[in-house]
């Protein structure tokens, strides 16, 4: 998989990046960004939750290659490798409640394999952690120094603890093997290529509105989330990768909103005359979620730029463009919403 001699326009490609989970929502947008920046991209995904259509537009590009592979198995890459972005993981409540063992394995074995590859190739690696490491937080907003409030045996534990283990083994490789590592803690992100049936609040609300169903809010709707548009998130991730900072960094939008108010925003956006209905709050559902992005501002010069009103319109138009059969796949109710 070496790329010596491959040209992009008149400039020789200078680096190779492996992106795991590349056919997923975030992974596919990262592929777009690294291609635009002139990197050679090796996209890896086992397609358990990813969708090949998210990256098909790159297939004719000689600077892009796709490898269907499960990162919990040994990873073999020939030639040079400069960067690894480990984004392979189920990332929604429906996914990791349906495939809990795979969720744990990709966070543990998959991260171990990626770190081993980074060590062998002398490559810099960025791992995708999450705001879920904070659990149902007792500190608000959440800073990177907060250790979290996580239930390891609850229904969300397979995801939360997989990501906490990911951070621990990443730091172990950094400290013991001197691997060049980065850790990003991603807060609620939205945008085109999200799956309508992934159980998170935004696609759930929009999908319900598009079908003319009532919007389902769990609990009394007072729990909060902070939604970051995907373009802003990718910019933050890119800056973190290219920085010299190895400790965890929150990347998200601190503009906090309750789920009740967010559902009302979706109704106003779509113009649908449906109701908001309330269901019991799932076990261990976080009551508050808001990033403190002081570290990202100071170290990376990063903060979100896209207002939620703008990002929601872009995302709504994407979902509205989907075929009716895609909308029909969305379940009526969800186990949990983030």
Task: Please list the active-site residues.
Answer: 159
**Omega cis (within 30) before 141:** yes
- Dist. CA 317–CA 177, nearest whole Å: 47
Residue carrying structure tokens 């996914």: 95
Q: Which two tokens stand for residue 184?
A: 């990003």
Strand partners, 127: 86, 183
On whether the CB atoms of residues 165 and 237 are closer than 8 A, the answer is: no
What is the CA angle 241-243-63, rounded to 5? 40
């Amino acid at each position: 998989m070496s790329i010596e001699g491959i040209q992009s326009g008149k400039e020789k490609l200078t680096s190779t990046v492996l992106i795991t989970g590349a056919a997923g929502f975030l992974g596919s947008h990262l592929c777009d960004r690294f291609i635009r920046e002139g990197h050679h991209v090796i996209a890896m995904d086992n397609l358990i939750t990813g969708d090949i259509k998210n990256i098909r537009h790159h297939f004719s590009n000689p600077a892009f290659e796709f490898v269907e592979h499960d990162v919990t198995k040994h990873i073999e890459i020939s030639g040079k490798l400069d960067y690894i972005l480990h984004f392979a993981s189920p990332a929604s409540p429906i996914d990791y409640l349906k495939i809990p063992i795979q969720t744990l394995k990709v966070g543990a074995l998959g991260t171990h394999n990626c770190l081993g590859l980074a060590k062998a190739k002398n490559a810099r690696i960025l791992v995708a952690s999450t705001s879920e490491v904070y659990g149902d937080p007792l500190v608000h907003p959440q800073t990177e120094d907060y250790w979290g409030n996580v239930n390891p045996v609850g229904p969300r534990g397979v995801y939360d603890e997989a990501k906490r283990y990911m951070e621990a083994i990443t730091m172990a490789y950094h400290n013991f093997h001197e691997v060049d590592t980065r850790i990003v803690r991603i807060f609620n992100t939205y945008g085109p290529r999200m799956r309508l049936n992934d159980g998170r609040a935004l696609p759930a609300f929009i999908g319900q509105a598009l079908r003319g169903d009532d919007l389902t809010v769990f609990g009394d709707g007072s729990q909060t989330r902070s939604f970051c548009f995907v373009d802003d998130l990718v910019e933050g991730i890119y800056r973190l990768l290219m920085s010299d900072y190895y400790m965890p960094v929150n990347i998200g939008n601190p503009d906090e909103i309750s789920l009740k108010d967010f559902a009302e925003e979706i109704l106003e956006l779509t113009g649908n005359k449906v109701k908001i209905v309330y269901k019991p709050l799932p076990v261990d559902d976080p009551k508050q979620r808001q990033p403190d992005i002081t570290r990202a501002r100071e170290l990376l010069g990063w903060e979100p730029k896209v207002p939620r009103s703008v990002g929601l319109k872009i995302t709504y138009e994407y979902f509205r463009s989907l075929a009716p059969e895609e909308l029909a796949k969305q379940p009526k109710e969800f186990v949990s919403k983030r």
